[in-house]
Amino acid sequence: MKLIAGLGNPGRKYAGTRHNVGFDALDLLAERHRLAWESGPADALIAKWRTGGALLAKPLTFMNLSGHPVGELLRFFKIDQGDLLVVVDDVALDLGRLRARPSGSAGGHNGLKSLIGQLGSDTFARLRVGVGRGDARRDLADHVLARFEPEERPIIAEAVARAADAAELFVTEGIDPMMNRFNRKEDAE
């Protein structure tokens, strides 16, 4: 079984923000496969994708504490860390660009930092969805907690759809095919 965790902040206040593209990608994936969200054995909503052999999860903690529920789900369902994919926003990537990696540092992302701290390792797959940096004079926290501008919405909607496609490919074929297909720059254009 694989675990696909989308990171974000819970609550209506944060819906549609840059920080919540991980939630958005998992919501789309659940919708595509007609999966129902339910309470999990950790502080998270889960959706069981039985035909895909995967569990989708959205931690109900805030971003900087999301490692705890994801770690609990891995342990509860006895899922290997190598079968984990985390979908997160990334301000260092251009809006709409995807980048998948089998492991790596947190890169300044508090959700990934929390997860690495909980697992004691950075050897889990991650899919970063570019949300752009915006105005460098603007506080980064304000930027990621802001909603997308009207002209950005079609770009991020397409990126979220491709992120859901990438998660499906991770489940069926693994990280290498996912990286080969979705890390190409031309896919973002």
CB 87 within 8 A of CB 127: yes
Active-site hit among 19, 33, 68, 143:
19
The Cα–Cα gap between 67 and 54 comes to 19
Pinpoint the alpha helices (H) of 33-104: 67-76
Cα 17 to Cα 26, 77, 88, 145, 160, distances in angstroms: 15, 30, 12, 5, 13
Which has the closest alpha carbon to 45: 76, 62, 69?
Answer: 69
Cα 49 to Cα 1, 30, 90, 129, distances in angstroms: 10, 8, 26, 22
- Active-site residue, 143 included: no
Catalytically active residues are 19
